[in-house]
Chains A and B, each alone.
Chain A
Amino acid sequence: MSTPLRMPGPSQDQPRGNPDVRLSVEQASYAYAPNPSQAPLFTLEALSFQAKPGEIVSILGPNASGKSTLLKLISGALEPLSGRIFLNGFATGSLPPKVRAQRIALVQQESRLLFPSRVLEFVLQGRHAHGRGLRFVSDEDIAIATNALAQVGASHLADRWMDKISGGEKQRVILARALAQQPILLLLDEPTLHLDIGAQVDLLESLRRLAAENRYTVLVVTHELNLTGEYAEQVVLLQKGKCLRVGPPATVFQRDLLEHVFQAPLTVEMTSSGRPRVTLFSKT
């Protein structure tokens, strides 16, 4: 069916500390002041956690809790105010964009294209970080891109135009582009936002499979409680810029804690598979 993509080589990466840890966020914090004289508008207080290869980590919290900021810090879009972020022992802030893109892939919700292109061309953009010179695509690039499309079940879309496919299909194509980068860290920002329930489950199942087959570390920013509970191995719970708890879902999904964070009455029960399930009530 689909072959696993190339595993990241051990050659350049000199692991620092625990070889089992791929991503290490150490006391990273961020503040943003639109005006030097004003108080900082948004703060992400120092937090730390670690992630392993093959693991799915959910960054969970309500709106404006700092989830996207944390993701941007990890992806390298923002410089942390304090602390550092290490990927396989290398500080991500010090990597040039090209190298960083070979390791970290970000899946965003939308992709605005000024001039439309075809799906395969779009996915080939993911090979940019691995190219040299004028970067004319090689056969290997095409193979990798085709493979990526297959991995997300979108091979039949290869020749279609990007502006003519549905939202769900587009989401899969964007994911395929990220896979074509052959990253070791996969970041997703609220990927389930515009998907219907079946598609949401499909996506998470694919992520679980991909993480297992290719040994990705997957970070998903979300506010979906039950998807997190079902699929994540680790949860980073945020509220208003503060990290309240880090741990497996069973540990983090405590009723009082969740009710406090999400400001809604709920119950938590454990399923037979050891995963928590959250049920929300109405407020009356």
Chain B
Amino acid sequence: MGDLRSSLVTRAWLLCTGVFVVLAAGVAAQGNGAGAVASPAMHEVTDGYGRTVRVPVNPSRIVSLAPSLTETVYALGDQAHLVGDTDYCDYPPDAQKKTKVGGVINPNLEQIVALHPDLVLLSKEGNVLETVRALDTLGIANYATDVHSVEQIIASIQKLAEVLNVSEAGKKLTDDLEERLTALQAKLARVAPKRVLFVVWPDPLMSVGQKTFVADALRRAGAVSVVESNQDWPQVSQEEVARLQPDYLVFASSHAGSSDHDFEALADRPGWQILDAVRNRRFAVVSEAIIRPAPRIVSVIEDLARQLHPDVFPEKPGRQEGAAVGAVPTASHLKQVTSLVMQAPCVTESSCGR
């Protein structure tokens, strides 16, 4: 009797194992994703990873996995084709209404697939190789950008415009950006650059490295970062900064709320009074767009140049796109920076794993 019961269960068990094994075999037999119904016209381009990728000639369902690329798509006027973006894509405000597919580092593959995109945009500095690999495995066309200077940002915008089949809009945009940069260059030609410390995060103190586009943006604004590092987001000691004594502190902030006393709050933190720039209140605050490789960066460069070299700009500054007045890290800035910190070398023991 116990035998009968055990033999029934044994059979049930064998059945389940059998189904399991066959399922696994089915997974194995499965090729690269469910085949696409009708293949749209494709062509090959080289992307930021240096690989040759096949992308549709006329992408109509785009998912962007980087806030900078979302902004660029809007700037190119192609937002009608944007069907999904990340939780962090907040500019322009309309981008927040698009379907969200998760974070930048760990986007939700299912959500992406459910949107049936014909092209996914990634950025080499924001996204991870794993995501690229996963998209390749699923047979979803993807294109990545890689920028390390303002020059490259503009070139990348043009290239992206070609990929999105909006080359004319791209040309207009890049021409405008380049014009503004050249004009700015002329104005700043005879002025000595200010030595600045760009504060990504005050505690632990993180700045930018020389090889980043942020450092390049600073240079274009008539400033030079005092931090000599080849890392992207180096952590600097306050001693080192005290030794370097930058002329100015530069902060990126997301809120247009004037807060002189927010700066006070920062200045009150231990160890900051040692800096001349803090004692003399020489600081500049720009929009967080400076850390996004998108068209807005040129506006930020202009704004920063105004703040650092006011004598070169006699006319009153108009309402610049994305300009902000002093504010120290706030909640939404926190979100932005947290994603940056996640990307940076781990700073605390707990985040470095066991």
Asked if A and B touch directly (CB within 8 angstroms), the answer is: no
B: which residues have CB within 8 A of A?
none
Identify the A interface with B (CB < 8 A).
none
